């Protein structure tokens, strides 16, 4: 059974750590999955070995150089009148909007109107709730399904082509049918996030379960482990590093699906705020929304990595 | 002996009758007959690819036989069992568990012994007490091999199957492992089938040798090893040992 698997194994990263200062070859970047159908991912930090503090500090500082320079250029170009504020408001205006979003005074709004000032908590919590519930459903369905695909030759033969086909459908292409099934509803939003998170989880789980060495299973049996306990005692722990890689991809893709999910008539959510801002022409609000997506998405990955680290430490040498 | 009743209820005797096995067109075993007395070490030698590993996998119940019979005591071998575990060259400890976790696995699964006590005892027997909380990935090859043998011994199996257990180790470490295994088996008498390429190893550890022919293989020669329990490194230069080794080498090479 051949599967397209994101090449995210941390083992490929070890020993690459000598390219100090070469931002384009940071070992951190190597965890980005190989480009695949419908997969567009921000490079995320890998399960990389720790590096010395000072070097890491310098690396991080270097990573800020280009963004800071771009913002400065952006501000200068705006001040010099090269960029119309209607196309790109200056950084100061965006920063101010960001402040209003987080700490501004919230005003009473009519039903159906999406607020902005002081509404960061409301929108972020709505988006995160969609994200996490869709992701949780993706884990609940994806891990068992992936185990079945990986462990049962028959299940693999039956379902692998279907999974490969479905995973090639971009999340936006799921939107119309989802709207027909669920209407403009919270359910539709969560379903879309679920679909977005599901496939990387299924595929990584199936692949890593199928790769569990036969000798490990034989040893467990020869130690008296019952066949019914094999999945729990051997396959899941042995496949866990691969499953965690799938969870990280699923979490990231789930978050990317949130913006599509909020095309389902929501009045709260970061994406909902951005679509409302587009209608009233508030580009500064839209950019604040984009920045919010970046920050929350990264934070989610950092948290998942921290939580999973102790479970997969053994596979990191 | 602290073994629970279950582990030793079966008389320790292994009988193989007219065992046959093919993989597709590859005819591997062609009627193997073997008898191993209780607590005896049978060393199995034979040309590469003749089916030694296949034989052990069948004895371990990891693969079905095509024809013939494997009996341990009065029980016919079915699937894998903690009563006749096999340890092969690439030690298969569970990499996510500590050494202690690995040693406790068997007794936890079978209830044949108290897990913590069995692990303590085996950590000492393998001289790995200081490594109890270390994961297998951090052990040396020799340590891992000792640990893998200890792991299956935790269930006090009446029969132990070893497939070139020290084949990947350097010569010095291998000699140390021979002495270690002899000591261990003296403390815990166990019926052992030891597959090896190394005639020294066969003569240092075996009570008897069985020589297999090339594929399709059968037993061409059975040899009693005349050295007693006091075998040690010095035995390697004993004239009787040297003569027997020469004879066995001739047989292996002409098999
Ligand atoms: N699962 C299998 N499927 C097909 N052929 C197999 C399988 N296992 C073993 N064989 C074949 O059976 C023959 C015996 O293999 P086996 O590994 O038992 O030999 P061996 O005596 O242990 O060899 P070595 O001394 O090199 O370890 C070989 O020709 C091998 O290719
Ligand atoms: Mg072999």
DSSP per residue, chain A: ---------GGGTTT-TT-TT-GGG-GGGGGSPPP-TT--------SPPP--HHHHHHHHHHHHHHHHHHHHHHHHHHHTTSS-TTTS--HHHHHHHHHHHHHSPP----TTPPP-TT-HHHHHHHHHHHHHHHHHHHHHHHHHHHHHHHH-HHHHHHHHHHHHHHHTS-HHHHHHHHHHHH-SSHHHHHHHHHHHHHHHHHHHHHHHHHTS-HHHHHHHHHTT--GGGHIIIIIHHHHHHHHHHHHHHHHHHHHHHHHHHTTTT-SSSHHHHHHHHHHTT-HHHHHHHHHHHHHHHHHHHHHHHHHHHHHHGGGG-
Q: Which ligand is nearest to the CA of B88?
A: 2
Atom of ligand 1 nearest to the CA of B197: 25
A vs B: CB pairs below 8 A: 66
User: Is the minimum CB–CB distance between A63 and chain B shorter than 8 Å?
Assistant: no
**Is residue A186 a part of any domain in this protein?**
yes
CA–CA dist B128, B125 (Å, integer): 8
**Is residue B57 a part of any domain in this protein?**
yes
pLDDT of residue A30: 38
**Is residue A279 a part of any domain in this protein?**
yes
User: Is the minimum CB–CB distance between A315 and chain B shorter than 8 Å?
Assistant: yes
For residue B95, give how far its alpha carbon lies from the nearest alpha carbon of chain A (Å): 7
pLDDT in tens, B167-195: 888 888 888 888 889 988 888 889 999 99
CATH number at residue A222: 1.10.3720.10
Of A213, A217, A219, which to mutate for an interface test with B (greatest number of B Cβ within 10 Å)?
A219
Whose tokens are 């075998």? That residue is: B231
pLDDT in tens, A275-316: 999 999 999 999 999 999 999 999 999 999 999 988 888 887
pLDDT of residue B93: 95
Instruction: Look at chain A and report how many structural domains it folds into.
Output: 1
pLDDT of residue A31: 40
Give me the residues of A, 236-295, that contact B with CB < 8 A: 237-238, 240
Q: With CB atoms and an 8 Å threshold, state whether A225 touches B90.
A: no
**Is residue A83 a part of any domain in this protein?**
no
**Is residue A77 a part of any domain in this protein?**
no
**Is residue B130 a part of any domain in this protein?**
no
Is the pLDDT at A96 greater than 90? The verdict is yes
CATH number at residue B216: 3.40.50.300
β-bridge pairing B191-195 and B41-45: parallel
Is the pLDDT at A7 greater than 60? The verdict is no
Structure tokens at B7: 């582990």
Structure tokens at B236: 């390697």
Find the helix or strand (DSSP H, E) in which B254 lies.
helix B239-254
pLDDT of residue A51: 63
Q: Helix A153-167 and helix A120-151: axis angle, to 10°?
A: 140
For residue B72, give how far its alpha carbon lies from the nearest alpha carbon of chain A (Å): 15
Q: Which ligand is nearest to the CA of B22?
A: 1
Range of the domain at B31: 3-85+194-254
Distance (Å) from CA B21 to ligand 2 centroid: 15
Range of the domain at A216: 2-72+89-315
Instruction: Indicate the pLDDT class of residue B208, thresholds 50, 70 and 90.
Output: very high
For residue A238, give how far its alpha carbon lies from the nearest alpha carbon of chain B (Å): 7
The pTM score is 0.79
Structure tokens at B165: 């257990």
Instruction: Look at chain B and report how many structural domains it folds into.
Output: 1
Is the pLDDT at A243 greater than 70? The verdict is yes
**Is residue A66 a part of any domain in this protein?**
yes
pLDDT in tens, B113-143: 899 999 999 999 889 999 999 999 999 888 9
User: Is the minimum CB–CB distance between A151 and chain B shorter than 8 Å?
Assistant: no
**Is residue A79 a part of any domain in this protein?**
no
């Amino acid at each position: 059974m051949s599967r397209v698997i994101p090449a995210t194994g941390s083992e490929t990263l070890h020993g690459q750590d000598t390219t100090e200062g070469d931002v384009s070859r940071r070992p951190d970047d190597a965890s980005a999955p190989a480009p695949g159908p419908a997969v567009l991912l921000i490079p995320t930090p890998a399960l990389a070995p720790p590096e010395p503090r000072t070097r890491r500090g310098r690396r991080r500082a270097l990573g800020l150089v280009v963004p800071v320079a771009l913002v400065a250029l952006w501000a200068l170009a705006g001040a010099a009148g090269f960029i119309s504020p209607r196309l790109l408001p200056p950084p100061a205006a965006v920063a101010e909007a960001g402040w209003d979003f987080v700490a501004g005074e919230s005003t009473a709004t009519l039903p159906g109107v999406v607020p902005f000032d002081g509404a960061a908590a409301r929108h972020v919590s709505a988006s995160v709730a969609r994200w996490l519930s869709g992701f949780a459903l993706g884990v609940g369905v994806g891990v068992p399904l992936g185990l079945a695909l990986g462990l049962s030759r028959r299940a693999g033969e039956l379902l692998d082509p279907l999974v490969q086909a479905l995973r090639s459908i971009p999340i936006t292409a799921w939107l119309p049918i989802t709207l027909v099934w669920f209407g403009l509803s919270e359910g539709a939003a969560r379903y879309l996030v679920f679909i977005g998170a599901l496939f990387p989880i299924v595929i990584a789980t199936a692949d890593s379960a199928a790769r569990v060495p036969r000798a490990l299973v034989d040893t467990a049996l020869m130690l008296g482990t019952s066949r019914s306990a094999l999945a729990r005692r051997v396959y899941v722990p042995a496949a866990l590093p691969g499953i965690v890689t799938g969870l990280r991809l699923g979490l990231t893709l789930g978050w990317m699906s949130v913006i599509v999910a909020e095309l389902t008539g929501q009045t709260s959510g970061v994406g909902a705020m951005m679509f409302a801002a587009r209608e009233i022409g508030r580009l500064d609000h839209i950019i604040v929304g984009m920045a919010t997506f970046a920050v929350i998405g990264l934070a989610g990955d950092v948290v998942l990595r921290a939580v999973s680290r102790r479970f997969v430490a053994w596979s990191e040498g | 002996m602290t073994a629970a009743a279950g582990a030793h209820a079966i008389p320790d005797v292994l009988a193989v009758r007219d065992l046959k096995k093919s993989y597709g067109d590859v005819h591997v075993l062609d009627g193997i007959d073997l008898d191993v007395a209780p607590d005896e070490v049978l060393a199995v030698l034979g040309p590469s690819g003749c089916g030694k590993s296949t034989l052990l996998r069948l004895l371990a119940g990891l693969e079905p036989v095509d024809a013939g019979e494997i009996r341990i005591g009065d029980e016919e071998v079915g699937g894998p069992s903690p009563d006749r575990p096999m340890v092969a060259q690439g030690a298969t400890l569970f990499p996510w568990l500590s050494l202690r976790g690995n040693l406790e696995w068997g007794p936890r699964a079978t209830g044949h012994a108290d897990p913590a006590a069995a692990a303590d005892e085996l950590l000492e027997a393998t001289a790995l007490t200081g490594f109890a909380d270390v994961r297998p990935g951090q052990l040396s090859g020799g340590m891992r091999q000792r640990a893998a043998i200890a792991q299956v011994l935790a269930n006090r199996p009446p029969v132990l199957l070893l497939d070139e257990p020290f084949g990947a180790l350097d010569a010095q470490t291998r000699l140390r492992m021979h002495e270690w295994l002899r000591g261990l088996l003296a403390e815990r008498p166990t019926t052992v089938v030891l597959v090896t390429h190394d005639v020294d190893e066969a003569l240092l550890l075996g009570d008897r040798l069985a020589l297999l022919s090339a594929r399709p293989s059968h037993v061409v020669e059975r040899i009693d090893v005349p050295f007693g329990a006091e075998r040690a490194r010095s035995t390697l230069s004993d004239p009787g040992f040297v003569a027997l080794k020469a004879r066995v080498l001739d047989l292996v090479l002409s098999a």
